[in-house]
Structure 1
Amino acid sequence: MELVAGCYEQVLFGFAARPAESWTVVPVFTHHAHSASLSAVAVNNRYVVTGSRDETIQIYDMKKKIEHGALLQHNGTITCLEFYGTAHLLSGAEDGLICIWNTKRWECLKSIKAHKGHVTSLSIHPSGKLALSVGTDKTLRTWNLVEGRSAFIKNLKQNAHIIKWSPDGERYVTVITNKVDIYKLDTASITGTITTEKRISSLRFITDSILAIAGDDEIIRFYSCDSQKCLCEFKAHENRIKDIYSFEREGQHVIVTASSDGYIKMWNLDLNKIKDVPSLLCEVNTKARLTCLAVWLDQASEMKENSDKAATLSQANEDEKSSIVRKNKVRRTDKSDKTAKKKREITPEKQKLEAPLQKKKKKQNSSS
């Protein structure tokens, strides 16, 4: 597996994480991915995609370790990226658009004007049929991904900046500043609220009912969605935590955290002893101001994840969804054919990802 993280300094980092008697993290590549700071990162079984303030989405083929191209559909900072399985990617940006991408040909199947303001966050239901989004127009919107249209709009009292489905799809949460509202899917009503002292910057479902929450301080807290009580809290970093990621491997629950202090850390969480502080597995100092984080899992782990998803969907529904989405391919509007075509194409050049910083420094020293 590889840890991938973006930062304010426009660099994408890649670190190989290897489980052994003690976990080790080895630098694999660094890449000057964008002309502005990175704002979002997402992974599937083959690709890593990054979004930036430079209004582009960059694609990296992790198996071939090359830069695959760029997506240029949005005008404005890319705020959120999320894959569904191996075939689709959803992107949201400050231009208010949500774009649905086919990851086989990397073409935009549908471009939806989702919010009057910025799209701040989106989340795809585990079934792949629905998505939720929030924006700076104080709305929470439900999207029918089968038909590519709006299904429901809920007005919020304030702008939410994070939205997330639970793994089982039975509930979802929104984050407004330092408050987490927990909704039940069948009633679309709030069943509980969690409030923290500091603004929340990242949130992750560890299980269907346990949330990991981090914010503008150095502490990670685990909360029960049912009781809204804090189950455990611990100091993870020396500065604010920017992102949390989690995955399960061979029965072991691993939490990965990235902070403005430059460190990426991996933690072992024992769900049977949730009140105990997780143990630190390993850490690496990137010496950069990190902004976003993801974990690219190897094929074996990904196959398990995909088989779990496949169990929730029948093949008939998959066929129906893909046929309808194909009919809803984005139409060219008031822009010229050339401009519209250029926006949907990826850049042709494929560049190899750079070796780690240490190797670059050796070359510089030898040349001087």
Structure 2
Amino acid sequence: MALVAGSYERFIWGFSLKTLTSSTASSSETLTLAPLFSYQAHTGPVRCVAAAPRAGLAASGGADDSVRLYDLPTAADLGPLLDPTAAVSALAFYSRGPVPRNLLAACDDGALHLYDADGFALLSTLRAFPRHEAAEGLAVHPSGRVALAVGRAGALAMVNLVRGRRSFACRLERPASAVAYAEDRDGGDRFVMAAEEKVTLHDSEDARIIHEMDCGKRVLAFAPAKNGVLYSGGEDRGITAWDLSSGKVSSRIEGAHATRVKGVVVFDNRKDGSELSNLIASASSDGVIRIWDVRTIGNGKPTPLAVANTKARLTCLAGTSLK
């Protein structure tokens, strides 16, 4: 399992989550975040990162109008993609099984760049928003056929990735900062959007609002899990687990971090009951990354299983379940 984090200081960090076995008679096991790499990846702040869920591939987007690629097993910087003509605000991989098929990059000029993950040739540049409207968040449907993008000026766009054009756009009541596809406990096809302190759950077919969840303070990051739970964090410095079927809080870590939460990662989407499927990660703006066991949430304030401190102003976090 690996994590990738970006910062205002232009650096990107990679960590591997490893199990350590004590040499004492008890032979207890502990988790640690072992450093993989640390690069000055961009010439401007790192604005977004993405990782292919079951592959050793990650990407970062920066204010320097570029996307950089990384191979996690070898801790190698694979170099930049220089096709974007504006700051890169959001990235998303589409994978079929363990194999990444496409990488999407949304930019401040409203463009959406679609790459083939084999060689990263630019397949198409789509217009999600007008040139004066920056993209803010991006999500690819599990089918890989469509993607959703939210704009900084308050628009929602659906892009048909098969036909290579925008198929739908509308104005939101207030600008959304993030969007993601999710499932409820019954497997319903949904998507979620964060707008200030609210998170709304929508039906993917007609975009109607199913639930509106009030997080109290501005939401800066969220991550859905396939067990019908959404984990959110932000200026409240905690991590909240939402039941998407009811729209209610199922558990919460109060004071998960000393400063605002800037990234949340669900390590695995499987329903096999493995230890891997019980772990989440969070990152805060003071540079601290923590690993949590979701089974301990709700039993007071849990102790993180592993902690790493980059001593930087973190802006984003992504992870992969690659062992």
TM-score normalised by structure 2 residue count: 0.86
Amino acid at match of 1:66: A
- Alignment match of 2:181 (pick from 165, 174, 193): 165
What is residue 133 of structure 1 aligned with on the other side?
149
Give 5+ residue unaligned stretches, structure 2: 21-28
What is residue 110 of structure 1 aligned with on the other side?
124
Counterparts of 1:65 and 1:262 in 2: how far apart (Å)?
20
What is residue 225 of structure 2 aligned with on the other side?
206
What is residue 238 of structure 1 aligned with on the other side?
258
Give 5+ residue unaligned stretches, structure 1: 300-368
Deviates more, 1:89-98 or 1:168-177: 168-177
What is residue 30 of structure 1 aligned with on the other side?
38
Secondary structure of the residue that 1:19 maps to in structure 2? Answer: strand
Quote the offset at 1:108 in angstroms.
1.0
- RMSD between aligned residues: 1.8
Residues 105 and 254 from structure 1, CA distance in 2 versus in 1: closer, same or farther, beyond 3 angstroms? same
Amino acid at match of 2:139: S
Amino acid at match of 2:267: F
Amino acid at match of 2:7: C
What is residue 187 of structure 1 aligned with on the other side?
206
Higher relative contact order (CA 8 A, sep 6+): 1
Say whether the 8 Å CA contact 1:125–1:169 is kept in structure 2.
Answer: no
Residues 148 and 211 from structure 1, CA distance in 2 versus in 1: closer, same or farther, beyond 3 angstroms? same
Counterparts of 2:56 and 2:241 in 1: how far apart (Å)?
31
Secondary structure of the residue that 2:267 maps to in structure 1? Answer: strand
Counterparts of 1:208 and 1:184 in 2: how far apart (Å)?
17
Counterparts of 2:291 and 2:44 in 1: how far apart (Å)?
27
Quote the offset at 1:222 in angstroms.
1.2
Deviations 1:298-323 (A, max 9, x none): 26xxxxxxxxxxxxxxxxxxxxxxxx
Deviations 1:159-213 (A, max 9, x none): 1111110055700111111111111123321111011221110011123521111
Say whether the 8 Å CA contact 1:97–1:113 is kept in structure 2.
Answer: yes
Amino acid at match of 2:85: N
Quote the offset at 1:43 in angstroms.
1.3
Quote the offset at 1:219 in angstroms.
1.0
Deviations 1:20-62 (A, max 9, x none): 4110122222111011111111112132111011111111222
Amino acid at match of 2:318: A
Tell me which structure has the larger Cα radius of gyration.
Answer: 1
Amino acid at match of 2:33: V
Size of the alignment, in residue pairs? 297
Counterparts of 1:276 and 1:76 in 2: how far apart (Å)?
45
- Alignment match of 1:53 (pick from 49, 63, 68): 63
Counterparts of 2:135 and 2:19 in 1: how far apart (Å)?
37
Say whether residues 1:17 and 2:27 are aligned partners: no
Counterparts of 2:152 and 2:2 in 1: how far apart (Å)?
33
Identity %: 31
Say whether residues 1:176 and 2:177 are aligned partners: no
TM-score normalised by structure 1 residue count: 0.76
Amino acid at match of 1:80: A
Deviations 1:209-246 (A, max 9, x none): 21111111311111122222222222211111100001
Amino acid at match of 1:25: L
Deviations 1:250-299 (A, max 9, x none): 344111000012111000112xx764355521101111111111123326
Counterparts of 2:286 and 2:154 in 1: how far apart (Å)?
32
